[in-house]
Every structure is written in C-alpha cells, then in structure tokens.
Amino acid sequence: MCGIIGYTGNREAGSILADALELLEYRGYDSAGIALSKKDGVQVIKCAGRVKELRKRMQEAKTDAVCGMGHTRWATHGGVSDVNAHPHRFGAVTVIHNGIIENYQELTEKYGLNGKLVSQTDSEVVAAMLSHYYQNDPYAAIRKTVLKLKGTFALAVMFDDIPGKIFAIRNVSPIVAAKIDGGAVFSSDVAALSAYTDRYFVLPEFHIACFGKEGIELYDLSGEAAEPEYMTVDWDTSRSDKGGYPFFMEKEIMEQPAVIRETIQTYLKDGVPDFSEGQIPDSVFRECKRICVIACGTAMHAGLVGKSLIQSMIGIHVDVVMASEFMYNDPVVDPDTLVLAISQSGETIDTLEALKFAKKCGATCISVVNVKGSSIAVNSKYVIYTCAGPEIAVASTKAYTTQLAVLYLLTARMAMARNLWDGARLEGYISELVRVPMVVEEVLERKDEIHHLAGSMLGAKDVFMIGRGLDYSILLEGSLKLKEVSYIHSEAYASGELKHGTIALITRETPVLAVVTQEKLKSKELSNIKEVQSRGAKVILLIKGEDLPKEDYSFEQIFKLPRMEDEFMVIPTSVVLQLLAYYVSADKGLDVDKPRNLAKVVTVE
Ligand code: AGP
C-alpha cells in the first residue's frame, strides 16, 4: 500500500508532487507528505489526512524546489498522525517508504535507536540506519542498510548534502520510473507518470537508481551499471481522470462495454480465442490435470465464476483458494496443476507469495493481471493481460468484468485444446461472448431504474443476497461491493443453505436481494425466495428476461435482466450489482472512491 512519487526537472516540484499524490491516493489516504531538495537541505511538509490537507500546509510554506518526493500512506505500524506521516528524517537523511520492515524492532535494538526515534513507524528505522551508514557514499549506505532489512520495501532517499538527487531501491513493492525532458520521474504506479511520458521501466529489485537533472543512473548492489528495460504504456491516459463523472467508480462502471470488448478482441484471432502472443502453448491447457486459482477479494470472486465455467464445460477439477490462506493449508499443487493467479494490480502480496509457493511446487503458472510489468506478471511463466486500463476507485469493477472475459476465453481455448467442442458449439459460444459488451450497454442505459432499486437498501442495516450456482458466485462479489462502498453489512448466501441457520436473521427490516438467472436452478431459487418472504423479508428480484414467477410473490422491486445464454448472464448481472452499491454509497454521501480503512493495492500480508 502507500503511494510514492519522485520528480527532478525544471519545473516547480511541489505542485507536481501534490497532483501525483492525489492520483495515488487510492493506494492509501491516511496521511500525506513531501520532501523538497533545496541547496541548504531538505524541507519536509507532512500531515495526517488527505492530500487536500497537505496542499493547505504547502501554501503556508515556501515550496520553490525543482526536486522532490512525496508519499501517501496507508497506516500499518503506528497510528494515523502527523508524526507518523512520511517523509521521515533522521540526521541528514530523509526517507519515504512503501512496504513493511518486519525486523524493525530487532533493528531498533541493534542500532541503539530506542528513545531516538520520534514516530512509531517501521520506516523511520530505515532513515536512522541510512544515517548511521552514510559517510559521503550514498550507494554504500543504501547497500549496507537494505541488506539488513527483512520485509518488503520501495524506498526513496534524499541526503541533505546531495541536493537535486533522489535515490531509490525496492524489494517486492513497486517502483516504476522514466527519464523525462530535463530530469526524471518515478512512482509506485504508472498512472502517476502518464502526465510526463508513455515510456517507463520497472526498477529491478535490489538495484539502486539515482534520479537527477541529467536523468537516471542505475546500479546493481555490486556497483555494476545496469540498463533499464523500457516499456510503453498502452493505456489511454485520459482514463486516469474522472472524465466528468463525480466518482471514478461510476466512470469505471460506465467504461465496461469498451474495456470488455477490447479484452475479448485482443485475444480473438480469426474468431477463436488465441493466447499465442503470450506464448502459451495448447499443451498447458491440454495436459493439466487440475486447476487452482489463487487470488484475493474481487479477483477471487472472478475465479469462482471461472471454476463453474471450467468444471461444467471442460470437466477439470478447479479449486479457488484465497491467496492469503493458500500456503497454510497444504495445497495439493504439483507439476500437473495449472495455477491461475488473478490480480488487477499485479502487486497483491498474498497472491504474489502464493504464486511463488506454487512455482516452487512445480506448477505451471499463468497470471491474469491488469498492470503491465507488475510483480505477479514478472513472476509468472505466462501472462494474460486484461485491458481494463487504469482502475482508480478502490472498489474493483471493470477489472473484475475483464477478468471474467479472460476466463470465458480461457475456457473456450481449453475446450479447443482438448477437442471437446465441435465448430458449431465454439461458434455459438464466441458469438454470445462477443454480445456481452452490447448487453452491458443495455444495462447501463437503465441506470436510473437501478438507482431506484438502490433506494430499497439505502436505510438498511443489513442486506442479504441469495442465489444458487453462478448466481451465488456473482452475489459474493455484489455483497463485497455493497459492504466496501456503503458500509452496510451485507452477506451473500447460497439460497439452499439459508435454512441451515442464517434464515434466523431474516426480519421485516432486512432487504433480501435475490438473483435468478439460471434456468436449471430457477424453481429451487424461487422456493427459497418464498421461504424468506414467509418470514417477512422484502425481496428485490433480479431475474432474467420475462421469466417472472406465475404465482403472486409481491416483490418489493423487480429488475428484468436482458437475456443471454445462462452462463453469460454473469457479467450483465454483476454490472447491476455494481451500480446498486455505487448508488447506495453516493446517495449516503460517502466518499465512494476511497472507502474508510481501505487501499487499492494491498502489499502487506
Ligand atoms: C475489491 O473491490 C477490492 N478492491 C479488493 O477486494 C481487491 O479485489 C483485492 O484486494 C485484490 O486486488 P488485486 O486484484 O489488485 O490483486
């Protein structure tokens, strides 16, 4: 978590840093700060709260430097306070840090820092160690320090007596960088560089970069010069602003027809799914005996849909495992296992660690990620990129539906590799998949109707969501969405499971959202709806097409979903659930894009 930005060039750094920090706030927004390199030393301005607060503090100070670094924090060690905000200074050294120094207590003892540190953070210890080792050689000080650190870090460092230069090094936590006219920029995320360049490189782990007016110097820890490997951002950078919408979440929901279409078209060649550009041979799909999906949160929910598709259409056993639990449950993963690591950011540490573990077990790993060159992508044998573009809102929407698009394509490619489908079946499947973006457009055109549905949940303390099979998988995601952006307690239940306990919670005050899109499950789903209605629940029904039950069910509200083949109902239905959560949050007057306690990129275990 935490966002880092650095700039050296010809322009006034303060406002550049503040603008970038606002873009990076999705990575953490507990506090913000900057350090400016001046001829007479380093000026630090920092405070608890958002970048808005920081800007106020900056107005009160003189910030006329052309070299500086900034940080936006998601608190781990030490509460949310001015003193715990980054940058941290110790002696003549100033540091910003993203990640966790696991052995900071041991280091505090070892370097006699008790009583000398002013914050409660693990990061200040790094500043103190750098100060301890610094004797006019920044590279030696950085090398000696990082070799003693356990944990993950992206560090940017300034030395008072080296004006105009910023040094950076990382382990696991990301830093991307680029040379620009008259200087250089670096950040935790490409989105913050896009105002300056569309060419960037990922700072290799344990390499020291020095950013100055002349550009970037890069060395490995033995002092050997290294060459950065530049990549091109192929994102439309206009996707990094709100484009007239009040919140990124709404904008990103609205972008879905375009990005789903782009994802599908990227991997369709001559009308069939084709992953040969990512060099994935069909043998990978043909020879695996089981599949294991590792992911967190929304990405894991995408995996659950993938499991249903693959198990029902290909007949291979699929496990979906929370990445944070993966290693601790003795997973059965071996060279016959195909591991799919799904992640928007490509930086989620739980998923990354699970992936590394799976690799050690000999599994073949494909990652489905959105961010090019991210750690999960780099650590996977094969990568399939989703084409969602930058996703800024903490609540994931377009990343989820593009992950689903990839999973639909993978399922079809697997069927081809195993000779399971005839031409007609493949053609029918692909033509329905290609129709998805259009159907999503239809749903989005009915946003006012969905806004009206949201009214039924606005005052609720708890919301239950019920469905079976694929409908249940979608509801797990719909429920997460509602919880995280509206703060309403919500649970998704497989509707057949309700009567084994949970039904005790159903009262007249509890809205129950029921989803019915799967023909083979419909009659059972309708019976389960009757059960909660008999206990007074007000049911909001999302149902495929005109398939309304004949009997009188007296629903609170009904939304008729556009018709698709059952297995393709997932994406249009999910979009309705995203909009529902969005409208509840916006109508409650909440900060939709930055829900409390959260951060977009979770780089701590
Ligand atoms: C969902 O809205 C959340 N932002 C969260 O669950 C997220 O999907 C999860 O943290 C995984 O992130 P990743 O896709 O970047 O790995």
In a domain, 424, yes or no: yes
Task: Give the chain's largest Cα–Cα span.
Answer: 83
What are the Cα distances from residue 361, in Å, to 332, 339, 365? 9, 11, 11
What residues have CB less than 8 Å from 513, skipping those under 6 apart?
A: 457, 463, 464, 465, 466, 475, 478, 539, 540, 542, 580
On whether both 492 and 391 belong to a single domain, the answer is no
In a domain, 241, yes or no: no
CA distance 229 to 273: 30
Buried b (16+ CB within 10 A) or exposed e, 277-306: eeebeeebbeebebbbbbbbbbbbbbbbbb
What average pLDDT does this structure show over 213-232? 94
Half-sphere exposure of 14 (CA within 13 A, CB side): 18
pTM for the whole structure:
0.83
On whether both 416 and 537 belong to a single domain, the answer is no
Residue 240 has pLDDT above 70, yes or no: no
From the CA of 296, give the closest atom in ligand 1: 11
What average pLDDT does this structure show over 561-587? 97
E strand or H helix at 513: strand 511-516
Residue 235 has pLDDT above 70, yes or no: no
Q: Are 559 and 450 in contact (CB under 8 A)?
A: yes
Q: Is 164 exposed, middle or buried (0-12, 13-18, 19+ CB in 10 A)?
A: middle
Which residue type occupies 341? Answer: A
Does residue 436 or residue 195 have the better pLDDT? Answer: 436
CA distance 199 to 194: 9
- State the residue for tokens 């593009």: 402
User: Distance from the CA of 59 to the center of ligand 1, in angstroms?
Assistant: 35
- State the residue for tokens 């309708």: 526
The structure tokens listed for 256 are: 């879905």
As a whole number, the mean pLDDT across the chain is: 93
- State the residue for tokens 């043998």: 283
- State the residue for tokens 């006329």: 64
Q: Is 352 exposed, middle or buried (0-12, 13-18, 19+ CB in 10 A)?
A: buried
CA distance 100 to 25: 18
User: Ligand 1: which residue has its CA nearest to atom 6?
Assistant: 297
Please identify, among 379, 413, 438, the residue that sits at the C-terminal boundary of a domain: 438
CA distance 91 to 172: 27
Residue 306 has pLDDT above 80, yes or no: yes
On whether both 528 and 432 belong to a single domain, the answer is no
Half-sphere exposure of 497 (CA within 13 A, CB side): 12
Q: Sign of dihedral through CA atoms 21, 27, 29, 30?
A: negative
On whether both 110 and 169 belong to a single domain, the answer is yes
Q: Residue 176: which of 88, 262, 235 has the closest Cα? A: 235
User: Distance from the CA of 600 to the center of ligand 1, in angstroms?
Assistant: 7
Domain that includes residue 71, residue range: 3-233
What average pLDDT does this structure show over 535-550? 84
CA distance 334 to 338: 9
User: Distance from the CA of 569 to the center of ligand 1, in angstroms?
Assistant: 22
Summary count for the chain: helices (H), strands (E) = 18, 26
What residues have CB less than 8 Å from 67, skipping those under 6 apart?
A: 7, 8, 9, 13, 36, 37, 163, 164, 165, 166, 183, 212, 213
In a domain, 595, yes or no: no
On whether both 226 and 339 belong to a single domain, the answer is no
In a domain, 101, yes or no: yes
Question: SS3 for 120?
Answer: coil
The finding on whether 603 has its CB within 6 A of some atom of ligand 1 is no
User: Distance from the CA of 271 to the center of ligand 1, in angstroms?
Assistant: 31
Q: Residue 369: which of 577, 190, 592 has the closest Cα? A: 190
On whether both 457 and 413 belong to a single domain, the answer is no
Q: Cβ–Cβ contacts within 10 Å for residue 57, how many?
A: 17
Half-sphere exposure of 301 (CA within 13 A, CB side): 24
With both helix axes pointing from N to C terminus, report the angle between 398-417 and 423-445 in degrees, rounded to the nearest 10. 170
CATH code: domain of residue 117: 3.60.20.10
Q: Which of the residue ranges 43-47, 144-148, 175-179, 371-375 would you say has the lowest mean pLDDT? A: 371-375
Residue 510 has pLDDT above 90, yes or no: no
In a domain, 121, yes or no: yes
DSSP 240: G
Q: DSSP string spanning 192-206?
A: GTTTT-SEEEEPPTT
CA distance 577 to 360: 38
User: Ligand 1: which residue has its CA nearest to atom 9?
Assistant: 297
From the CA of 399, give the closest atom in ligand 1: 14
Q: How confident is the model at residue 195 (pLDDT cuts 50, 70, 90)?
A: confident
On whether both 213 and 72 belong to a single domain, the answer is yes
On whether both 477 and 424 belong to a single domain, the answer is no
Q: Residue 588: which of 455, 479, 496 has the closest Cα? A: 455
Name the residues annotated as catalytic: 2, 600
The finding on whether 484 has its CB within 6 A of some atom of ligand 1 is yes
Q: Cβ–Cβ contacts within 10 Å for residue 191, how many?
A: 24
Residue 122 has pLDDT above 70, yes or no: yes
Counting the structural domains of the chain, the total is 3
Residue 286 has pLDDT above 80, yes or no: yes
CA distance 451 to 370: 29
Q: How many Å from the N-terminal Cα to the C-terminal Cα in the chain?
A: 11
Q: DSSP string spanning 253-266?
A: HHTHHHHHHHHHHH
On whether both 149 and 282 belong to a single domain, the answer is no
User: Distance from the CA of 122 to the center of ligand 1, in angstroms?
Assistant: 25
- State pLDDT tens for residues 392-419: 899 999 999 999 999 999 999 999 999 9
Which residue type occupies 558? Answer: I
User: Ligand 1: which residue has its CA nearest to atom 16?
Assistant: 343
In a domain, 453, yes or no: yes
The finding on whether 395 has its CB within 6 A of some atom of ligand 1 is yes
From the CA of 395, give the closest atom in ligand 1: 2
On whether both 394 and 253 belong to a single domain, the answer is yes
Residue 96 has pLDDT above 70, yes or no: yes
What average pLDDT does this structure show over 261-270? 97
On whether both 420 and 484 belong to a single domain, the answer is no
The finding on whether 299 has its CB within 6 A of some atom of ligand 1 is yes
The finding on whether 297 has its CB within 6 A of some atom of ligand 1 is yes
On whether both 130 and 62 belong to a single domain, the answer is yes
In a domain, 67, yes or no: yes
Q: Cβ–Cβ contacts within 10 Å for residue 246, how many?
A: 11
User: Across 161-225, where does the E strand assignment appear?
Assistant: 166-171, 176-180, 183-187, 199-202, 207-212, 215-220
CATH code: domain of residue 287: 3.40.50.10490
- State pLDDT tens for residues 145-154: 999 999 989 9
Question: Using H for helix, E for strand and C for coil, what is the string for 389-420?
Answer: CCCCCCCCCHHHHHHHHHHHHHHHHHHHHCCC
Residue 509 has pLDDT above 80, yes or no: yes
The structure tokens listed for 58 are: 């900056």
In a domain, 427, yes or no: yes
Residue 548 has pLDDT above 80, yes or no: no
Question: SS3 for 590?
Answer: coil
Q: How confident is the model at residue 46 (pLDDT cuts 50, 70, 90)?
A: very high
